[in-house]
Amino acid sequence: MITLSGKSVFGGIAIGKIAFYKRNEIQIKRSRVEDTEQEVKRFEAAKEKAVSQLQELHDKALDDVGETNAMIFEIHQMMLEDLDYVESIVNIITSQEVNAEYAVATTADNFAAMFAAMDDAYMQGRAADVKDVSERLIQVLSDQNSASMEMNEPVIIAADDLVPSETVQLDKEKVLSFITMYGSANSHTAILARTMNIPAVIGIGEDLKKEYDGKEAIVDGMEGVIYIDPDKETFTRMREKQKEDQEQKTLLEQLKGKENITKSGQKVMVYANIGNLSDVGAVLKNDAGGIGLFRSEFLYLESETFPTEEEQFKVYKQVAENMAGKRVIIRTLDIGADKQVDYFGLDKEENPALGYRAIRICLTRQEIFKTQLRALYRASAYGQIAIMFPMIISVDEVKQIKKIIEEVKQELREEGIDFRENVELGVMIETPAAVMVSRDLAKEVDFFSVGTNDLTQYTLAIDRQNQKLEPFYDSHHPAVLSMIRMAAENAHAEGKWIGICGELGADLSLTETFLEMGIDELSVAPGMILPLRKRIREAD
């Protein structure tokens, strides 16, 4: 028996044969061309055909994996039309007098290397996208069809990594699991695995060898382990674990549509935390009552420059529409500390967690803040959007925010743009200062949402990014729980509701404690919705 280890991106147990993904390998040769103008035309014709193919893949993906996951093919179409990408290819053809295939391959390598060198995990993931669209172009130029893997039985798909155009063409009914040598938690393989609810392990490295093709294997997506040619004892143990997992999932599925209500009749709102549009499908699939935290800073982290009002508006609008009237709480950008964006031009700080971040940036760089607020208020006309503000420490900050909001609303009125006047406004309770003045804050806003990650680090004076301090970090510390209780009491004293959107919200060992405090809402990762509902319904 051979045991391999990687990173789990979705739990569960899969048992079956390994099938390595097979691609059409095209050898790219550099050849000189006499008529560069004609070669550019050949490239442009291939580009148009590739765009058309991507539209067909988008339409197929709509049926297979839903709108949010199909959007990647729209992004790929935009990549093919990207001016920098196209100009690079044309320039190589004309200046070096070479064939289009070579120019596309060279540009793909250059752009992929550029993305891979970036610090942001999302941008690193785009290296695979540019390779994907470029390989499609080369296939069209070489007059070859793209690979479509034949599967005669359900299998465990193995690969170095998989790109969207490959995963979307797989027969989903015959995919037991994904295992890859490379990739990240943000890769499309990982996203698809979460959407399909199948085990996936990535980052196995060179130990995942092609000689394992066709061998019997077990994927333990919970532990991130693969057993190849498992012995009898391992097989029996894993089969039992698979049975227990399936029984648990079946029981949880029965909770869809049920109320989040304790045996004693206490109701709690159970919402989901998301980072971008691609997560909305998981929110709906897991039957969340709404979105308790949309981390809008990911729009900034995923962009090379400040996202425009229109770009933000489209995202917020689509989330609101997809949630069909359910509450969508969008947190204004929380840039700074551990989330750095080069184009913000932020200075290096000795203590970034205690520095220039979140609402402090918004209030001192109001042009950025107003752009986001305009997009949010415009999108409010399309659903039940609520807005909350991070890193609040004073009532004066909230009053300043409300003044800016009134300016934005007046601008929209004068421009004749629709928006909802009564958008709910809330603040994040994630500093001890906010807790201590929470009674006064509650008079100014509609709700509180406790960010337990930051509240814990600021209460305990422990940098949560510092691994050396891990033995001292205690999210269950009595002081932290007392802070949450105090904020809850002050919110309720002013007739306002309070939720928790930090990691503690998904800690099932604290669910009854939060219910006893009177917490009105718990917002967790989509996959934790049903386990949390089960815990609530069992509570007395």
Residues labelled as active-site residues: 188, 501
- Strand order in 13-20's β-sheet? 2-5, 225-228, 216-220, 13-20, 155-159, 175-180, 200-202, 7-10
Q: How far is CA 481 from the centre of its chain?
A: 29
Rg (CA), the chain: 25
> Which residues are CB-neighbours of 322 under 8 A, at least 6 positions away?
67, 68, 280, 284
Whether 114 and 82 have beta carbons less than 8 Å apart is answered as no
The burial of 250, by beta-carbon neighbours within 10 Å (0-12 exposed, 13-18 middle, 19 or more buried), is given as exposed
Phi, psi of 270 (to 5 degrees): -115, 110
Q: The tokens 């048992």 sit on which residue? A: 15
Q: Give, as one character, the DSSP assignment of residue 528.
A: G
> Which residues are CB-neighbours of 477 under 8 A, at least 6 positions away?
456, 459, 460
Cα–Cα dist 76/135, whole Å:
12
First-to-last CA distance in the chain? 47
Whether 218 and 12 have beta carbons less than 8 Å apart is answered as no
Token pair of 167 as six digits: 């995963």
DSSP string across 324-380: TTS-EEEEPP--BTTB--GGG-PPP-SSGGGSS-THHHHHHSHHHHHHHHHHHHHHG
